[in-house]
A = this chain, B = another copy of it.
Amino acid sequence: MSEHVNICEVGPRDGLQIAKTRMSTDAKVAWIAAMAAAGVREIEVGSFVPPRVIPQMADTEEVVRRSLEIPGLTVIALAPNLRGAQNAYNTGAHKISVPVSVSEGHSRANLNRTPAESVAEMARLMEWVKAQPRRMEVIAGASTAFGCSIDGVVPTAQVVEVTTGLAKAGVDKIMLADTVGYGHPAQIKEVVRAVRDAIGPVLYGLHLHDTMGLGLANALAGLEEGIRAFDSCLGGLGGCPYAPGASGNVVTEDLVFMLESMGFATGIDLPKLLEARALLHEGLPAEPLAGQTAKAGIPKTFRRAA
């Protein structure tokens, strides 16, 4: 049996939040269902942010409710703070992802607070979550862990400090996010090692962007350090409204192609996943889609991992 790698599709959240046009709720749910039918088991379907901040996410409550009806799907929503976590919980989300910026500049621009204040907020959030009767997993996303378009270089020690604070606050898992896509493979390895030394298995996965074309090379570097969970976006959608110059997330279908080719099982059916691009395109016709697998087609050498 092949080793499993977990892919969390974040397109309906990270991908849509900076789209110039809006995708209807029906189109979102159809797209989410198509990806789930292709074997994607975890999807971040929306974000409990105020609609005036990110209008594309205004229907998150409905999208979460309807996604919960899709069999076998783990429904994740982004929650920027305690109130977001409460809304996600009340809507029934299985898990929430909570962004915390490692760099000061991105933290102030994106969340209007310092990294230390975010860690303190996380402790309050975890206290509330753990007091509820239903278990809801909390994944902290450590943004700008590999560079910041505002602050520039983000020292590894700073990533260790913030992630150590988040682990102490009691989060279930931490994703290291290359929010602006400036990271390189040697850095990925260095930071993963340092963070794992500090917090052990609470370090869960990588959230990578393809800004400089290094998305898959960085994923490979993470794999080689034992990382077995990745966020990605169908068609390479994505970006960050508070990270000038950031571009799309690592492309789900290209990541699946790489992983399955290398013998890692993702549980995802690549031809079916490519079909889900049609629904994404229908729902968001003005948005250009990236991805080499869709462009070139699946080569005849491809064999899905056992």
A292/B186 contact (C-beta < 8 A), A147-B299, A220-B221 known: no
- Residue among A217, A292, A297 with the most chain B CB within 10 A? A217
- The 0/1 profile, CB within 8 Å of B marked 1, for residues 223-266 of chain A is 01000000000000000000001010001001001100111000
Contact B149 A299 (CB under 8 A): yes
Q: How far is the CA of A187 from the CA of B220 in the complex (A)?
A: 13
Q: How far is the CA of A147 from the CA of B152 in the complex (A)?
A: 40
Contact A180 B293 (CB under 8 A): no
CB neighbours (8 Å) of A210 from chain B are 292
Docked complex: A257-297 residues within 8 A CB-CB of B: 257-258, 261-263, 291-293, 295-297
Q: How far is the CA of A138 from the CA of B302 in the complex (A)?
A: 33
- Using CB atoms, name the residue of chain B closest to A224: B224
Contact B293 A258 (CB under 8 A): no
| Chain B CB within 8 A of A39 CB | no
CB neighbours (8 Å) of A181 from chain B are 296
* Cβ-neighbour of A212 out of B219, B247, B299 (below 8 A): B299
| Chain B CB within 8 A of A54 CB | no
Interface set of A (CB-CB < 8 Å, partner B) = 147, 149, 152-153, 180-182, 184-187, 210-214, 216-217, 219-221, 224, 245, 247, 251, 254, 257-258, 261-263, 291-293, 295-297, 299-302
Jot down 9 A-B pairs with beta carbons below 8 A, ordered by A.
A184-B257, A184-B262, A185-B262, A186-B263, A210-B292, A212-B257, A212-B299, A217-B217, A220-B220
* Cβ-neighbour of A216 out of B152, B180, B216, B299 (below 8 A): B216
- Can you tell how many copies of this chain the complex includes? 2
Q: How far is the CA of A245 from the CA of B212 in the complex (A)?
A: 24
Contact B182 A301 (CB under 8 A): yes
CB neighbours (8 Å) of A296 from chain B are 181, 211-212, 245, 247
Contact A180 B217 (CB under 8 A): no
- Using CB atoms, name the residue of chain B closest to A210: B292
CB neighbours (8 Å) of A220 from chain B are 185, 217, 220-221
